[in-house]
Chain A
Amino acid sequence: MAGNKAGKRPKLTREGFGGQVAYFFNRAIANIRQNILINLLTIGTISLAILIFSLLLLLYVNLEKVTDKWSERVQVTAYFEGELPPRELKVLIGRIQSLEGTGKITYISKSEALKRFRERLRGQDALLEEVSADILPASLEIQLKKEFRGDDALSYYTAALRRVPGISEIQYGEDWVQRFNSFMDFMRLLGLFVGGFLVLAVVFIVANTIKITIYSRKDELELLGLVGATRLFIKIPFLIEGILQGAAGAILAIALLFGLYYGFIHNAGSLTNFNPLENGIVFLPLTYMAYVFIGGILLGFLGSLASLKKFINV
């Protein structure tokens, strides 16, 4: 039988690179349009997941701000005998300043100490009459640099401080500092746990949602393989779809989060006696928003990639 093939086949151009990219994007958009409900479901799931996550992130950002303020109160008070003449005082301050970890130093003279003492005991004047400036020692209040406020660094610092000549006693509210520090450690650990667990849950849920979308189109995947599509060709539109879903989900989540934040700062003041703005409650910084956005895209992309693995082994 005659094998006269392909003689009259018309000349046809192949799509260029730009054309291919456009093809894949159009395919992804068409897929989204065609399966609009299931896409909305996926975007909803992604955005809910990201919303919960970014809500935690917002809490963390604000808690970190508050604790930064609190930890400024971690300070060491150094006492010395009598009242030093200005020159000796200067030398002493210089020595302390040269210790690693020293922040701001405030000098509290005997009279300043008495003034503070009186303020604290206001209304109990009978007690105060006995007290003269001589009883109270002068002192230096030393604030520590941020990285020296932890337990270990603190004991290391105080040991060094004790060796400075001229200092008779030091005090640093050990108990309070320790409890504060272990509270913060606990909070960070808890945050890490909850956050880590959340990330896993989110990835799991999103991957499953995407798996459902892809499952609903497994006939299409199969057919593309049968007409000779390469794996990459089959996957790319789905991956683009995942990226678009992730991006949409992230934007939606950030918008919702901002809505919550906005509602909170405008209503909390009237409902409770906590004024969010005065207390420095802030929204997510731009860099964090960018992370959330990129995270959403990655989520959509990886979710699609992982789900596709199950269906494409052409």
Chain B
Amino acid sequence: MIELHNVSLSYQRDAAALSNINLKIEKGEFVFLTGVSGAGKSTLLKLLYGGLNPSRGQVLIDGQNITRLSSSQIPFVRRKVGVVFQDFKLLPGRTVLENVALTLEVLGWGKRDIGKKVYHILKQMGLEHKINTTPLRLSGGEQQRVALARALVNDPKIVLADEPTGNLDENSKESVLNILKEANIKGSTVVIASHDKRLTENSHRRMIVLDKGRIVEDSNGRK
């Protein structure tokens, strides 16, 4: 589902944010990407949805080499990838419902279907009473769940989440993690970038550890 071959990326000369990454994530996997702050986790996620292009190497998503795609083909890759951004990127001028609906509007879905589907997923996340609220009036945990809903509403093949539990209390962390696990059970391949050791260590999931832009450990978690 996700393959990286000899991928390197430098924002500036002589300072590689990622060096020579080789990685394969199979369909249906649930993977933690960890490492200290600045290790390159966010950078790696950006490569997976075409937010950045590698300086060297190839990135394959669902069998497509996205480093070779033209910019007009990138949107169609992004439709397969639901991203939960670290800063949420919710539009403050639109309601919760409208924010989540964006993902489906882009696909050209009809209004009724969008309404049903969005309501359904927001209900699953316990946000059905906040449908007509704007994001700025929500708590951090609620905003995070709206961001999750927007990423998951079209049942994407891949889900990428960047620090989805950062700044959340224990209860919210738990519920966010459960939502992502559920998405995985429904068939999505999930990659979570997090520097939160407690979150990743007891999970018994595959864990890829980055340090200074290199993979230093890749364990399947079943010790």
Asked if A and B are interacting partners, one says yes
A15 adjacent to B28 (CB under 8 Å) = no
Interface residue from B28, B71, B150 paired with A227 (Cβ < 8 Å):
B150
Query: Could you tell me the distance in whole angstroms from the C-beta of A230 to the nearest C-beta in chain B?
Result: 5
Residues of B within 8 A of A222 (CB): 89
Q: How far is the CA of A57 from the CA of B29 in the complex (A)?
A: 69
Per-residue CB contact flags for chain A residues 197-231 toward chain B (1 = under 8 Å, else 0) read 00000000000000000000001101111111111
The smallest C-beta distance from A252 to any residue of chain B, in angstroms, reads: 26
* Complex Cα–Cα for A233 and B108 (A): 10
Chain A neighbourhood of B49, CB < 8 A: 226
Residues of A14-39 at the interface with B, using a CB-CB cut-off of 8 Å, are 14-15, 19-20, 23, 34-35
Residue of A nearest to B188 (CB): A5
> Which of B76, B78, B111 sits near A19, CB closer than 8 Å?
B111
Task: Verify if A13 is at the interface (C-beta below 8 Å from B).
Answer: yes
Given A13-B113, A14-B109; A313-B187 close (CB under 8 Å): no
Instruction: Assess the B109–A9 pair: CB atoms within 8 A.
Output: no
* A15/B75 in contact, CB under 8 A: no
Given A4-B187, A6-B187, A34-B93, CB of A226 within 8 Å of CB of B111? no
* A15 and B155 contact, CB distance less than 8 A: no
Residue B106 lies at the interface, judged by CB distance under 8 Å to chain A:
yes
Say yes or no for A277: interface residue by CB 8 A criterion.
no
- Choose from A23, A34, A226 the contact partner of B78 (Cβ within 8 Å): A226
Given contacts A2-B28, A2-B185, A4-B28, 9 further A-B contacts (CB under 8 A): A1-B184, A12-B113, A12-B117, A35-B93, A220-B93, A224-B102, A224-B106, A227-B78, A231-B72
B186 at the interface (CB under 8 A from A): yes
Residues of chain B from 176 to 211 with CB closer than 8 A to chain A in the complex = 184-189
Known: A3-B28, A4-B187, A19-B110. A9 touches B155 (CB 8 A): yes
Q: Is A314 an interface residue (CB 8 A)?
A: yes
Query: B residues engaging A (CB < 8 A)?
Result: 26-30, 49, 51, 71-72, 74-79, 83, 85, 89, 91, 93, 102-103, 105-111, 113, 117, 150, 155, 157, 184-189
CB–CB A5/B187 < 8 A: yes
Residue from the list B30, B106, B111, B189 in contact with A228, Cβ < 8 A: B106
Residues of A within 8 A of B30 (CB): 1
Specify which chain B residues have a CB less than 8 angstroms from the CB of A224 in the assembled complex. Answer: 102, 106
Contact B108 A15 (CB under 8 A): yes
Q: If the complex has contacts A4-B187, A14-B108, are A226 and B113 also in contact, measured as CB distance less than 8 A? A: no
Q: Which residue of A lies closest to B74 (CB)?
A: A314
Which chain A positions have C-beta within 8 A of B155?
Answer: 5-6, 9
Q: Select from chain B the residue with minimum beta-carbon distance to A6.
A: B187
Alpha-carbon gap, A228 to B49, bound state (A)? 10
Q: Are A228 and B79 in contact (CB under 8 A)?
A: yes
- Assess whether A313 is in contact with B71, with CB atoms less than 8 Å apart: yes
Contact B89 A219 (CB under 8 A): yes
Report which of B28, B51, B93, B108 forms a contact with A1, defined as CB distance below 8 A.
Answer: B28
Chain A neighbourhood of B111, CB < 8 A: 15, 19, 23
Shortest distance from the beta carbon of B107 to any chain A beta carbon, whole Å: 7
Taking a contact as CB atoms under 8 Å apart, the answer to whether B75 and A230 are in contact is yes
